[in-house]
Amino acid sequence: MVGAGPAGLAAAVTAADRGVEVVLLDAGRAPGGQYWRQRGDVTHPPTAGAGGEPHAEHGSRRLRALWSRLAEHRAAGRVTLLSGTSVWQITRSPDGFVLWLTPSPGRPADGPARVAAERVVLCQGGADRQLPFPGWDLPGVMAAGGVQALLKASGTAAGRRAVVAGTGPFLLPVAVGLAEAGVEVLAVCEAGRPTDWARSLPAVLGVPSKAVEGAGLVAGMVRHRIPYRTRTVVRRALGEDALTAVELSPLDADGRPRDLVRRVEDVDLLAVGWGFTPSVELALQLGAASRVDVDGSLVVAVDEQQRTDVPGVWVAGEGTGVGGAVLSDLEGRLAGAAAAADAGASGGLPRRGGITRHRRFAAAMHRRHPVPAHWDEWLTEDTVVCRCEEVTAGRVLEAHRSLVVQDARSVKQVTRIGMGWCQGRVCGFAASCLTAALEGRRADEADLRGIGSRPLAAPVTLAELARLED
């Protein structure tokens, strides 16, 4: 099992419950993933209500149950947990697969260099989706998920006056968490039109817990008196050496900023989130089939048992489509049970009813909170698109115009966009969409695979490579 978030924990515990030996690999210091992020090298589950979110008590109860079962299986030798360990490559072998490992940054290099497995369940989660805009590379501009992770991991707020912007329900817990930490949140700027949720009432009624969760977040917004501005975006981040202000603009019906209507707010923190991008690089290394999801993300194609078209490989959680922790948990249970059954373990498979309802809700959420259609028109030629390699929008435009580069992979080769430290995790989606827009179309599966495929899924040192026997 790769990943110990909600999907990976559920998959590992479910498979071990059925008598299968499991190796659980996770890059974090402790199980839980981003949703159940812990502080430090903890060895026990958190108390109820940890996380500062209205729905945290339910989440903590589920985490404690999974953690308890995980501890029992580890004591019995059915589960081996390797925390602080990243998988940089996965290859096939005559007996199944070999997963090549490297310690996560800051972790000791005292673990194994590889793990062999007959079957693999990939539960890698995802990362904040970011769109470039003028000034987004200033210190003080952060991904919304990064702001929340800092709050959860250390209780630290990254600023004193903040604006939270982008699209999607995730903006609300970030804003409420900042307010609870003492930050003055001047506004949540939602690019979408949440009143459109009325069109998705059947999907909402199918998952009533989401409505309860949403009501709790709205109550937190009201309690902290946080303004909620719809159809509004951050047009520019302002400052010399650090963020000092943001320029806000309302959007017209086509998703274009109204140039004559602008508002400037003095802030030292801007938390931006445009949804999430699934982590699918290990599945792509194995050649698994993929598709483009409702939100435009590249996801792994799976069947009714979370099985990919690569024999012996299952994917659960955000890698099959962003849908939240509960859906990841449900898919993890199914994938763990299916992998165990494939290994000869007894026991039936969980029903897919809950997965179907949560998938329907996730699709409705993506339709109600899309990335603005014309976001690429906000860019100036000197706007940095790839922060690692400092590739600007003008450089991408020049490559397209002068070199007749027509797809994201070719742009990557010519400009080095997506070839820096993050390997396109931050800029890949935007680069694919920008290149496609220059061709007058939307980014397709080939665009997203071209810039999202990575021979190395994690940074690995030359010394580690030199120590490999073969």
Give the domain extent around 19: 6-127+277-364
In the structure, what pLDDT confidence band is assigned to residue 195 with cuts at 50, 70 and 90?
confident
Please state, in angstroms and rounded to a whole number, the distance separating the CA atoms of residues 123 and 319: 7
Query: Within this chain, do residues 196 and 159 fall inside the same structural domain, yes or no?
Result: yes
Residue at 28 is within a domain: yes
Co-location of 123 and 159 in the same domain: no
d(CA 356, CA 334): 12
Find how far residue 274's CA is from the centre of its chain: 10
What CATH number has the domain bearing residue 169?
Answer: 3.50.50.60
pLDDT at 468 over 90: no
What's the CA gap between 84 and 25, in Å, rounded? 8
Which of 322, 339, 364 is the last residue before a domain boundary? Answer: 364
CA dihedral 335, 337, 341, 345 (to 10 degrees): 150
The letter for the amino acid at 432 is S
Residue 457 falls within a domain, yes or no? no
**Is residue 424 one of the residues assigned to a domain?**
yes
Q: Which of 25-39, 72-86, 163-177, 262-276 has the lowest mean pLDDT?
A: 25-39
pLDDT-derived band of residue 50, with 50, 70 and 90 as boundaries?
very low
The verdict on 236 and 356 lying in the same domain is: no
Nearest CA-CA partner of 367 in 440, 278, 302, 296:
296
In a shared domain, residues 288 and 396? no
pLDDT grade, residue 470 (50/70/90)?
low
Measured in Å, how far apart are the chain's first and last C-alpha atoms? 24
Q: Cα(298)–Cα(277) distance, rounded to whole angstroms?
A: 8
- Does the pLDDT of residue 85 top 90, yes or no? yes
The verdict on 119 and 142 lying in the same domain is: no
Alpha-carbon separation of residue 104 from 30, 86, 162, 204, 348 (angstroms): 12, 6, 31, 39, 36
Mean of per-residue pLDDT scores for the chain = 90
The answer as to whether 325 is a domain residue is: yes
Picking from 48, 27, 246, the residue whose alpha carbon sits closest to that of residue 134 is: 246
Among candidate residues 248, 274, 300, the one where a domain is terminated: 274
Same domain, 134 and 270: yes
As a whole number of angstroms, the distance between CA 332 and CA 129 comes to 23
The answer to whether residue 464 is domain-embedded is no
Residue with tokens 């070719």: 410
User: 205: pLDDT confidence band, cut at 50, 70 and 90?
Assistant: confident
- What pLDDT is stored for residue 59 in this prediction? 61
Range in 39-43, 114-118, 393-397, 441-445 the model is least confident about: 39-43
Q: What's the CA gap between 96 and 21, in Å, rounded?
A: 15
What's the average model confidence in pLDDT over 113-141?
96
Is there a single domain that holds both residue 59 and residue 113?
yes
Q: Which pLDDT score is estimated for 459?
A: 86
Cα–Cα distances in angstroms (integers) from residue 303 to residues 8, 204, 290, 313, 326, in the given order: 18, 24, 12, 11, 19
Mean pLDDT, range 309-325, rounded to an integer: 97
**Residue 412, domain CATH:** 1.10.10
pLDDT for 461? 86
Instruction: Check whether residue 263 and residue 168 sit in a common domain.
Output: yes
321 token code pair? 């489509």
Does residue 322 lie within any of the structural domains?
yes
Which of 144-148, 185-189, 257-261, 413-417 is predicted least confidently?
Answer: 257-261
Residues 6+ apart with CB under 8 A from 378: 133, 134, 233, 235, 257
348 and 383: one domain? no
- Of 274, 303, 330, the residue at which a domain comes to its end is 274
Confidence of residue 287 (pLDDT cuts 50, 70, 90): very high
Q: Are residues 183 and 264 in the same domain?
A: yes
* Residue 109 belongs to a domain: yes
Q: Does the predicted model carry a pTM greater than 0.85?
A: yes
Q: Residue 466 domain-assigned?
A: no
Q: What is the mean pLDDT of residues 81-89?
A: 94
- pLDDT given for residue 469 in this prediction: 67
| Number of domains, the chain | 3
Query: In sequence order, which residues have a C-beta less than 8 Å from that of residue 452 and are 6 or more positions away?
Result: 280, 281, 284, 298, 424, 428, 432
In this structure, are residues 193 and 167 in contact, taking their beta carbons and an 8 Å threshold?
no
255 & 169 share domain: yes
Are both 134 and 73 inside the same structural domain?
Answer: no
Strands 313-315 and 120-122: parallel
